[in-house]
Amino acid sequence: MANHISNYLEIRNSNPAVLAYMEWVFERIDGQYDTGTEELAKKVYGEEYPAEYNRGWVIDNCGAKWFNGIIDESGDDYINIQMQSAWDPPSDWIVRLTEKLLSIKNDIIITNTYEDEAYNFVGVQLCAKFEEKHTLIDMDNYDLEKIWDDDEMRDALYDEQYAVKEVLLTDYTEKLKEMGKNNGEYSLK
């Protein structure tokens, strides 16, 4: 059985058109709690998605064996999404989703904070117009045998993950400012 990965996506700088698109992507089939792999992949990849489910294609193009999710909350300028995936976060799907959303609103930023159910890995992904970046938490700093019973250790891990997300967002904001100083020229080096 594959390890489950919890993914918490935050879409920043949203607007009503972005929300409408996301509600379409995460539209639930009658009677289902969440939206599954095939629906999510078909809506984001369009005709590139195979006519029938192909596990290899999903892994290669979406980043995870399977994934599902729901819109958890939304406001005037943000959307929060909860997702589950197998083996890995659906990182490539998030990159493609970002591309789709950027065609609606060009300053969208998506962050995904994710964790393996056994804490084998924990990380943060940032996707935006000029950057796609992953940062993994060094799990050697945590005792995985004790983390389940140690609330303070888990809190420290989540605090570190949040801090990493904030650094990625701050760094991206600084890069955008620097880009403005260079007549809009920007390099991802």
Question: What angle do the packed helices 37-45 and 91-102 form, to 10 degrees?
Answer: 40
pTM for the whole thing?
Answer: 0.92
- Residue 92: what pLDDT? 97
Q: Give me the helix-helix angle, 55-62 and 37-45, nearest 10°.
A: 60
- Do the beta carbons of residue 102 and residue 129 sit within 8 Å? yes
Residue with tokens 């590139």: 48
Q: What is the pLDDT of residue 186?
A: 46
pLDDT 10s digit of each residue in the chain, 189 long? Answer: 568 999 999 999 999 999 999 999 999 888 889 999 999 999 999 999 998 889 999 999 999 999 999 999 999 999 999 999 999 999 999 999 999 999 999 999 999 999 999 999 999 999 999 999 999 999 999 999 999 899 999 999 999 999 999 999 999 999 998 888 665 554 433
Q: How far apart are CA 107 and CA 130, in angstroms?
A: 10
Return the structure tokens found at 14: 């949203």
Topology of domain 4-181, CATH? Alpha-Beta Plaits (3.30.70)
What's the confidence (pLDDT) of residue 73? 97
Helix ranges (DSSP H) in 1-128? 16-25, 37-45, 55-62, 91-102
What is the reported pLDDT for 1?
58
The per-residue pLDDT for 97 is: 98
